[in-house]
Structure 1
Amino acid sequence: MIEFLFELIGEIIIQFIAEAAAEAGMHSLSDARSYKAGPLLAGVGYALFGAIAGGITLWLLPEHLVRNEVLRKLNLLVTPLAAGGLMCLMGAWRARRGDTLLRIDRFAYGYVFALPLALVRFVFAQ
């Protein structure tokens, strides 16, 4: 059971690092552009970026951190929820500081980014 918790925390950390990097990149671009995409297009974009991030994490860590098949399926449900929650907390922190908020600073968009990342790792990791 402790092993599963360490594996789960590892998966959450991987997804959070990928989301934080994406958020940092999007914040750096947010001041440079005035075009705002609609929510559907933004969701599709975040899903695409999440899948790309999943591919990058596969290149860096090609093996599953969670070995058990049943626990991997549970991880597929829990990790995107946790990553979306962490992005929501990060957005609240940014709001308290008075920083500009992006869509990824909300739970739904953080989840939309994290789910394809987790799916790519679930399907293609060894």
Structure 2
Amino acid sequence: MEWLAELAVELVGEFLLALVLEFGGRALLAPFRAEPSPWVSCSGYLLLGALLGGLSLWLVPHQLVQQPSLRVLNLLLTPFAVGATMGWMGQWRAKRGLRVLRMDRFAYGYLMALSLGLVRYCWAS
């Protein structure tokens, strides 16, 4: 019975990987274009966060917060903190006449941090 679960996970994993490579390739490059669609940019930042989460798992494969309730709290609060920081950076850049990137907004910073945190939450040992 265990082999059936492994097969299902492998099939779903391969399908998701193909989908990510097809859609994600375009979405990952979209935030760096002049004026991409906000939906495509959101997808790009979600993918970027997931990729950074995977990279962080490679570098630090264990959970940094061990207690389950604190892990959930961390998953809920950290993206808000990152989003707020990115929003503040956008305001700071705008006041100085610097170019404000999409990443310099709360929503995009939040999405990237949330996807990074979800990858770590789900797959860190």
When normalised by structure 1's length, the TM-score is 0.71
Q: CA deviation at 1:119?
A: 0.1
Distance 2:117 2:96 in 1: 30
Distance 1:106 1:122 in 2: 24
Distance 1:111 1:60 in 2: 22
Q: CA deviation at 1:95?
A: 1.1
Show the counterpart of 1:102: 101
Show the counterpart of 1:50: 49
Which stretches in structure 1 are left out of the alignment for 5+ residues? 1-25
Matched, 1:89 2:91: no
1:35-46 to 2 correspondence within 5 Å?
36-46=35-45
Specify the structure having the higher radius of gyration (Cα): 2
1:8-47 to 2 correspondence within 5 Å?
34=34, 36-47=35-46
Structure showing greater relative contact order (alpha-carbon pairs closer than 8 Å, 6 or more residues apart): 1
Q: CA deviation at 1:91?
A: 1.1
Distance 1:71 1:60 in 2: 22
Question: 67-76 vs 88-97, which deviates more?
Answer: 88-97
Q: Deviations over 1:19-60 (max 9, x none)?
A: xxxxxxx9xx95xx54x2101011011100110011111111
Matched, 1:111 2:121: no
Provide the aligned length of Structure 1 versus Structure 2: 96
Question: 104-113 vs 92-101, which deviates more?
Answer: 92-101
Which stretches in structure 2 are left out of the alignment for 5+ residues? 1-28
Distance 2:113 2:79 in 1: 5
Q: CA deviation at 1:70?
A: 0.8
Q: Deviations over 1:49-103 (max 9, x none)?
A: 1100111111111111111001101111001111111111111111122110111
Corresponding residue SS for 1:55: helix
AA paired with 1:119?
Answer: L
RMSD of aligned C-alpha atoms? 1.7
